[in-house]
């Protein structure tokens, strides 16, 4: 079992022990690819961890962008999080309905906004329910609480910065998509995107970082995954994926290893694959 760390990852047992802490806030950060045919809000309304509030990744985003669920402006994040009753002094635990998938995106977003007191629930709702722990369908009573936001731009990268990093080779770029998509052997789920990967990137499918039960692997096993991928962790890391969701699983794994100089490419392949002036590589890295 992974060691509990309230700034990265906590176990279901840890959450069960702390459920009645007055300053604990639990968020359901479930999000699914369209092909999954699942409605995260409907699933939340049917059954969620007691007291949990639903964090809508698509709604709490920058709607001025044509790209999906880009990080929202500071003001929007503040207002939406306040409406969820989450604020200064709160310890946040976020989970999702797949085990460990989209919750890491919410973890990264809170950190981007300067709130480090947040952890992902290891194994998520599936593990919680498999252990017979309680769920409820009633919404929580929410009281507004102000959150001080200090955006940390070093945790996010744009297409220009990633293109420079790819060209110079001064960063390690890690791609969380499935290996077939990385190689360009499988079509992209979004129409109009080229197939392949950012030149110089390494393939680290987010699923390789997880155990069969959806929990994250132990630190030694995580290091072995990165080593097998040829990932040079002595350099700063930029993570990427399809649309900036599962890339955050890599960021979470890096944080578990104590690495601090890593950022997420928010536009990810949805932007890069459609951008006409950036190169695309195929095959293995």
Catalytic positions? 241
The burial class, CB within 10 Å (0-12 / 13-18 / 19+), for 34 is: exposed
Positive or negative, the CA dihedral 251, 255, 258, 259 is positive
HEC profile for 20-38? CCCCEEEEECCCCCHHHCC
Question: What are 40's two structure tokens?
Answer: 């995260």
HEC profile for 71-119? CCCHHHHHHHHHHCCCCCCCEEEEECCCCCCCHHHHHHHHHHCCCCCEE
Give the separation between CA 191 and CA 64, rounded to whole angstroms.
21
Residue pair 188/269 in contact (Cβ under 8 Å)? The answer is: yes
Cβ within 8 Å of residue 35, ≥6 positions away: 189
Q: Which candidate, 120, 98, 122, places its Cα nearest to that of 109?
A: 120
């Amino acid at each position: 079992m992974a060691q509990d760390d309230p700034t990265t990852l906590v176990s279901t047992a840890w959450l069960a022990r702390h459920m009645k802490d007055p300053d604990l806030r639990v968020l359901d950060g479930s999000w699914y690819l369209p092909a999954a045919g699942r409605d995260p809000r409907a699933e939340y309304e049917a059954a969620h961890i007691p007291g949990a509030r639903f964090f809508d990744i698509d709604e709490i985003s920058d709607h001025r962008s044509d790209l999906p669920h880009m990080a929202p402006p500071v003001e929007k994040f503040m207002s939406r999080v306040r409406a969820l009753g989450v604020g200064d002094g709160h310890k946040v635990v976020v989970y999702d309905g797949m085990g460990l998938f989209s919750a890491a995106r919410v973890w990264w977003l809170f950190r981007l906004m300067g709130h480090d007191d947040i952890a992902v629930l290891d194994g998520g709702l599936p593990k919680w329910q498999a252990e017979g722990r309680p769920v409820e369908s009633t919404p929580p009573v929410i009281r507004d609480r102000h959150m001080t936001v200090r955006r940390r731009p070093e945790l996010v990268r744009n297409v220009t910065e990633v293109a420079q990093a790819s060209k110079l080779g001064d960063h390690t770029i890690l791609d969380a998509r499935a290996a077939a998509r990385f190689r360009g052997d499988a079509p992209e789920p979004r129409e109009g995107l080229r197939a392949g990967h950012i030149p110089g990137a390494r393939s680290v499918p987010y699923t390789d970082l997880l155990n069969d039960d959806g929990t994250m692997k132990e630190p030694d096993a995580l290091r072995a995954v990165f080593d097998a991928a040829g990932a040079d962790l002595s350099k700063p890391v930029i993570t990427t994926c399809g649309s900036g969701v599962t890339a955050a699983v890599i960021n979470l794994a890096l944080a578990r290893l104590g690495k601090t100089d890593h950022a997420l490419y928010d536009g990810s392949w949805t932007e890069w694959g459609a951008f006409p002036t950036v190169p695309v590589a195929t095959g293995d890295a």
